[in-house]
């Protein structure tokens, strides 16, 4: 693949940005050959700056739910922009969007909006402490809740005090959760849970209903708040909070990424019980009340209510999962496909340093399919049956090439630091 312009941009970037790029979209931890810079996106596809096209299973790491460049949603954004975006007060879209969320998410009696996922997971923590007057937050080991000092997975520049008052449990493990809550004693402010286990580097796990119910019971017994961090998975599993699927209602849920189909906004939703505490804290941001992203979110929620985006991504995800399972078996590879079919993760057996996953993913990339070797992926509603066929053809080539080259693969060392941080 031609990558001349990408290399030129990387060289320029290296001069004016630390390491040339930062954060979750850096390709520093991806196989060689992954492009860093993209020229455009449309539907289910992205084009790199050298004109190579990819079927995109990352969906911007979540924000793309209904297809890139979605006509109705972008029109809603631009329409509000032409009236007023960041103004000296909010537009009526603030109220309309809050009403939309409260109408759609069972546990929600109120909403607050911000920009980053981290903004709203942090707000949940602060509100739980304001509500309870307690300090301890009980969290699942290895779960990602954002990149502020209290939660970023890499601890450079982070102090011990930033991580004070945190107690960890093993996701889905009732005894471990109980032990963590026990350790908090009479100082428990909140239990945080991911909607399912979607940590990097390891198999995904759907939530054990007994664990989710026990988290609810323990919060009720202790007067603490139950927080579901639905930033990554919200509305991808259900048209409600993800834990509605296991019959558990949290007090607070954090949302982001797809709620405006890529336009910048995040949301914290809460139950009546948490309203007073939510009203007692001071949080804000320069662009939090800007109307355009709210108008796009209102338009996105309408599509979520009125289209079969969810059933469609489940259907295509099932086809992809079954197809890959057949291909892997036929090639003699153990490929573990975990998590919801519409948010898949592919990990090879006997592949501790990801050398197989790296090689196979890079082969798919050469065939125009962008997959990730160690982070969960996403399907979007713009994908079609024939896109899954394309992915399966690329995967078949990938398995064949892997079979041929697997003896000569070299160790992948660049993940060591990040993997260590996730332990």
**279 vs 334, which CB is nearer to its own copies?**
279
Binding piece for its own copies, criterion CB under 8 A, among 147-155, 217-225, 324-332, 358-366:
147-155
| Near its own copies by CB under 8 A: residue from 130, 206, 310, 341 | 130
Binding piece for its own copies, criterion CB under 8 A, among 54-62, 240-248, 311-319, 386-394:
54-62
**36 vs 204, which CB is nearer to its own copies?**
36
Beta carbon of residue 189, minimum distance to its own copies (angstroms, whole number): 9
> Considering the rule CB under 8 A, would residue 279 count as an interface residue with its own copies?
yes
Taking CB under 8 A as the criterion, which residues in 369-388 touch its own copies? 370
Beta carbon of residue 231, minimum distance to its own copies (angstroms, whole number): 8
**118 vs 244, which CB is nearer to its own copies?**
118
Taking CB under 8 A as the criterion, which residues in 309-368 touch its own copies? none
Measured CA to CA, the distance from residue 1 to residue 6 in angstroms comes to 11
266-270 vs 110-114, strand pairing mode: antiparallel
**16 vs 408, which CB is nearer to its own copies?**
16
DSSP string, 251-308: SEEEE-GGGGTTSS-EEEEE-GGGHHHHHHS----TTTT-HHHHHHHHHHHHHHHHS-
Residues 6+ apart with CB under 8 A from 361: 30, 31, 371, 372, 373, 398
Measured CA to CA, the distance from residue 338 to residue 318 in angstroms comes to 12
H helix count then E strand count, the chain: 12, 13
| Near its own copies by CB under 8 A: residue from 278, 316, 327, 369 | 278
> Considering the rule CB under 8 A, would residue 214 count as an interface residue with its own copies?
no
Query: Is 261 within 8 Å of 70 (Cβ atoms)?
Result: yes
| Near its own copies by CB under 8 A: residue from 203, 210, 287, 318 | 287
DSSP 68: B
> Considering the rule CB under 8 A, would residue 167 count as an interface residue with its own copies?
no
Residues 6+ apart with CB under 8 A from 105: 240, 241, 253, 269
Question: Residue ranges of the alpha helices (H) in 332-408?
Answer: 355-366, 385-405
Binding piece for its own copies, criterion CB under 8 A, among 143-151, 323-331, 355-363, 386-394:
143-151
Binding piece for its own copies, criterion CB under 8 A, among 202-210, 211-219, 274-282, 337-345:
274-282
The CA-CA-CA angle for residues 315, 318, 320, to 5°, reads 110
| Near its own copies by CB under 8 A: residue from 29, 44, 49, 138 | 49
Measured CA to CA, the distance from residue 326 to residue 354 in angstroms comes to 21
What is the per-residue binding string for its own copies in 8-47, x denoting contact by CB under 8 A? Answer: -x--xx-xxxxx-xxxxx-x-------xxxxxxx----x-
Residues 6+ apart with CB under 8 A from 207: 171, 172, 193, 195, 196, 197, 243, 246
> Considering the rule CB under 8 A, would residue 404 count as an interface residue with its own copies?
no
**61 vs 168, which CB is nearer to its own copies?**
61
53-56 vs 45-48, strand pairing mode: antiparallel
**10 vs 336, which CB is nearer to its own copies?**
10
Residues 6+ apart with CB under 8 A from 214: 174, 177, 178
Binding piece for its own copies, criterion CB under 8 A, among 176-184, 280-288, 341-349, 396-404:
280-288
> Considering the rule CB under 8 A, would residue 117 count as an interface residue with its own copies?
yes
> Considering the rule CB under 8 A, would residue 152 count as an interface residue with its own copies?
yes
Token readout for 135 is: 């300090």
Measured CA to CA, the distance from residue 69 to residue 154 in angstroms comes to 33
Residues in the chain: 423
Beta carbon of residue 382, minimum distance to its own copies (angstroms, whole number): 14
Beta carbon of residue 275, minimum distance to its own copies (angstroms, whole number): 5
> Considering the rule CB under 8 A, would residue 284 count as an interface residue with its own copies?
yes
| Near its own copies by CB under 8 A: residue from 128, 181, 212, 228 | 128
Token readout for 243 is: 């834990």
> Considering the rule CB under 8 A, would residue 201 count as an interface residue with its own copies?
no
Residue written as tokens 């078949």? 396
312 CB-side CA count, 13 A: 17
| Near its own copies by CB under 8 A: residue from 145, 216, 257, 312 | 257
> Considering the rule CB under 8 A, would residue 58 count as an interface residue with its own copies?
yes
Q: How far is CA 243 from CA 84, 336, 374, in A?
A: 36, 24, 24
Q: How many residues bind its own copies (CB under 8 A)?
A: 115
**190 vs 335, which CB is nearer to its own copies?**
190
DSSP string, 121-139: HHHHHHHHHHHHS--EEEE
Taking CB under 8 A as the criterion, which residues in 73-112 touch its own copies? 74, 77-78, 81-92, 94-95, 98-99, 101-102, 109-112
């Amino acid at each position: 693949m031609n990558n001349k312009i990408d290399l030129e941009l990387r060289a320029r970037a290296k001069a004016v940005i630390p390491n040339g790029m930062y954060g979750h979209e850096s390709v520093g931890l991806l196989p060689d050959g992954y492009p860093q810079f993209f020229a455009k996106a449309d539907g289910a596809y992205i084009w790199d700056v050298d004109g190579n096209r990819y079927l995109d299973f990352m969906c911007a790491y979540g924000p793309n739910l209904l297809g890139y460049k979605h006509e109705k949603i972008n029109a809603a954004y631009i329409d509000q922009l032409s009236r007023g975006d960041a103004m000296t007060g909010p537009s009526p879209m603030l109220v309309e969007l809050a009403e939309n969320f409260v109408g759609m998410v069972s546990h929600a009696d109120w909403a607050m909006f911000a920009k980053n996922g981290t903004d709203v997971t942090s707000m949940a923590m602060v509100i739980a402490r304001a509500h309870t007057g307690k300090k301890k937050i009980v969290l699942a080991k290895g779960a990602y809740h954002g990149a502020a000092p209290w939660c970023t997975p890499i601890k450079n520049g982070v102090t011990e005090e930033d991580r004070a008052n945190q107690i960890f449990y093993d996701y889905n493990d009732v005894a471990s959760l109980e032990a963590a809550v026990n350790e908090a004693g009479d100082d428990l402010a909140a239990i945080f849970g991911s909607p399912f286990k979607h940590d990097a580097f390891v198999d995904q796990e759907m939530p054990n209903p007994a664990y989710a119910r026990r988290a609810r019971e323990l919060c009720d017994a202790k007067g603490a708040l139950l927080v579901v961090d639905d930033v990554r998975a919200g509305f991808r599993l259900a048209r409600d909070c993800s834990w509605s699927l296991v019959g558990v209602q949290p007090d607070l849920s954090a949302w982001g990424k797809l709620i405006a189909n890529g336009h910048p906004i995040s949301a914290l939703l809460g139950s009546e019980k948490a309203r007073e505490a939510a009203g007692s804290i001071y949080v804000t941001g320069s662009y939090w009340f800007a109307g355009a992203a709210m108008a796009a979110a209102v338009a996105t929620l309408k599509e979520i209510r009125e289209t079969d985006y969810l059933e469609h991504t489940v259907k295509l995800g099932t086809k992809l999962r079954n197809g890959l399972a057949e291909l892997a078996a036929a090639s003699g590879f153990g490929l573990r496909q975990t998590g919801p079919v519409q948010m898949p993760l592919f990990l090879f057996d006997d592949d501790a340093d990801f050398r197989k996953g790296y090689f196979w993913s890079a082969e798919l990339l050469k065939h125009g399919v962008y997959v990730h070797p160690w982070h969960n992926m996403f399907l979007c509603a713009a994908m079609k049956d024939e896109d899954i066929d394309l992915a399966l053809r690329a995967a078949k080539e990938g398995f064949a090439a892997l079979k041929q080259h697997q003896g000569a693969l070299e160790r992948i060392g660049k993940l060591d630091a990040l993997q260590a941080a996730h332990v």
